């Protein structure tokens, strides 16, 4: 993806998936690329339409939770672009888990019962529901891997204070409940997800993407119980299938591990899975949009003017 220059731009940051431009030290222009990452590594090939899928799902979901807490989003001037308020981010991510899956299952199946200071009950199978959703925070690393961290360690290190933690915890659980309400209407289960928060002044804001396949894991609810009883693999829509493929090809982002070759057919399969999740979650057919760089930049600058960001 090209790097652009906008009027009154004060900073630029290229993340794993998004290119982020700071405007006038008060606003962000976030361009979702087609890059894909796993195990905190950017994979060498891009996934067609992925950026548009993520951006449009995130915008849809953010609009659906404005009654729970404020969020950063102001507008989406292009299919893969969001403009919003600049927040001071907390250096933690709030991971909420309703089911024993993914990283939690890998820890559990190794014999561990404590995850981020939370005791996981004995006798669970992969993908079983927890008695109630749990929060297993991680550090938010600028480079390298995010690390599990407990609530006590977060408070001890001063990453947030007690009042802030209580607010973040309440917001995260309420957002997860809303995410599951939306998912259930579409025949899905929101198994786990992560939320990022920041502050503007004294107010906490929800940041970044919400309930997308990059930040969340969904199971199909139809047949879920039967598959659990029979010890079958759950049918899911998320990025986990990419992680599983990488693990099966001996890659988990460790030093000296080589990313396996991604064939054109496999890239197309990943793209179709992202589109499938969009169509199920949003309930509309996905329409691919291919704006030129010039058209995208023009739409961004016009929207910044509409928001009175640019003179």
Residue 56 has what pLDDT? 96
Measuring CA to CA, which residue among 51, 50, 47 is closest to residue 31?
Answer: 51
Q: Whole-number mean pLDDT of the chain? A: 92
**281 to 183, 190, 270: CA distances (angstroms):** 7, 11, 17
CATH number for 89-243: choose from 3.30.420.40, 1.10.490.10, 3.30.200.20, 3.30.470.20: 3.30.470.20
The pTM for the full model equals 0.89
Per-residue pLDDT tens over the stretch 265-294: 999 999 998 898 899 989 999 999 888 889
Burial of 280 (C-beta count, 10 Å sphere; 0-12/13-18/19+): middle
DSSP for residue 219:
E
The full set of domain ranges for the chain reads 89-243
CA distance 72 to 86: 7
Residue 279 has what pLDDT? 93
Per-residue pLDDT tens over the stretch 91-114: 999 999 999 998 999 999 999 999
Residue 184 has what pLDDT? 95
Residue 153 has what pLDDT? 97
Phi, psi for 198 (deg, rounded to 5): -150, -175
């Amino acid at each position: 993806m090209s790097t652009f220059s906008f009027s009154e731009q004060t900073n630029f940051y290229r993340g794993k998936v998004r290119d982020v431009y700071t405007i006038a030290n008060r606003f962000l222009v976030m361009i979702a690329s087609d890059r894909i990452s796993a195990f905190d590594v950017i994979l060498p090939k891009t996934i067609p339409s992925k950026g548009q899928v993520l951006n449009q799902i995130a915008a849809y979901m953010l609009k659906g939770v404005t009654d729970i807490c404020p969020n950063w989003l102001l507008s989406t001037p292009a299919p893969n672009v969001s403009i919003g308020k600049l927040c001071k981010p907390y250096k933690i991510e709030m991971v909420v888990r309703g089911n024993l899956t993914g990283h939690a299952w890998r820890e559990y199946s190794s014999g561990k019962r404590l995850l981020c200071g939370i005791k996981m009950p004995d006798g669970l199978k992969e993908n079983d529901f927890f008695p109630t959703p749990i929060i297993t925070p991680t550090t938010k690393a600028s480079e390298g891997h995010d690390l599990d961290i407990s609530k006590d360690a977060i408070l001890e290190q001063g990453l947030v204070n007690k009042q802030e933690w209580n607010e973040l915890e309440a917001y995260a659980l309420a957002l997860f409940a809303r995410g599951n309400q939306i998912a259930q209407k579409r025949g899905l289960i929101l198994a786990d997800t992560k939320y990022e928060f920041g502050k503007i002044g004294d107010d906490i804001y929800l940041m970044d993407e919400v309930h997308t396949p990059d930040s969340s894991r969904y199971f199909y609810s139809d047949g879920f119980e039967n598959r659990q009883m029979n010890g079958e693999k759950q049918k899911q829509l998320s990025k986990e299938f990419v992680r599983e493929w990488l693990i099966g090809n001996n890659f988990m982002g460790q030093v000296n591990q080589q990313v396996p070759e991604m064939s054109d057919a496999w890239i197309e399969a990943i793209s179709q899975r992202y589109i499938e999740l969009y169509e199920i979650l949003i309930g509309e057919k996905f329409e691919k949009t291919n704006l030129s760089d010039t058209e995208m930049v023009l739409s961004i600058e016009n929207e910044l003017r509409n928001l009175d960001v640019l003179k």
